[in-house]
Structure 1
């Protein structure tokens, strides 16, 4: 049985300028933007597009493990989709 990996999407709201690039590049619709940026980490597949394209370096994707957060950042080869095109 394949276990679905879970990810936490961390946004530094002090760095985020609400440009909306993350909303545009996310294939899973993790982000929504109205007056504030909203994040639904349950939808995240770990592709890291938001993290890569964020011009403010305000987003970090962390892989969750049973019992807590895995050490370090998620690498593109660890994601379900693999590396982002061009990387």
Structure 2
């Protein structure tokens, strides 16, 4: 699974931080264009693609997609 974050939609509520089983989501110390600290994934290689961040986010910040498999 591949997780992407739309930093501009994030309002920094922190709900995703609480539900991440790997504890790899944190609020960046920079602001997005709306003036909010935004969610960032610190070590994407550790992400298990569980989708909990996607499910709890009220602002649809996260997108979870199946990665394309390369045959051969």
* Aligned length in residues: 61
Structure 2: give runs of 5+ residues left out of the alignment.
Answer: 31-38
Shift of 1:59: 0.5
TM-score, normalised to structure 1's length? 0.60
Q: CA RMSD in A?
A: 1.6
Q: Match for residue 48 of structure 1?
A: 51
Higher relative contact order (CA 8 A, sep 6+): 2
Q: Is the 8 A contact 1:21 1:54 kept in 2?
A: yes
Return 34-43 or 49-58, whichever deviates more.
34-43
Deviating above 3 A after TM superposition, structure 1's stretches of 4 or more consecutive aligned residues are none
SS in 2 for 1:64: coil
Instruction: Give the distance between the partners of 1:52 and 1:65, measured in 2 at CA.
Output: 22
Which residue of the other structure, out of 16, 21, 35, is the alignment partner of 1:22? 16
TM-score, normalised to structure 2's length? 0.70
Q: Match for residue 61 of structure 2?
A: 58
Structure 1: give runs of 5+ residues left out of the alignment.
Answer: 1-6, 68-87
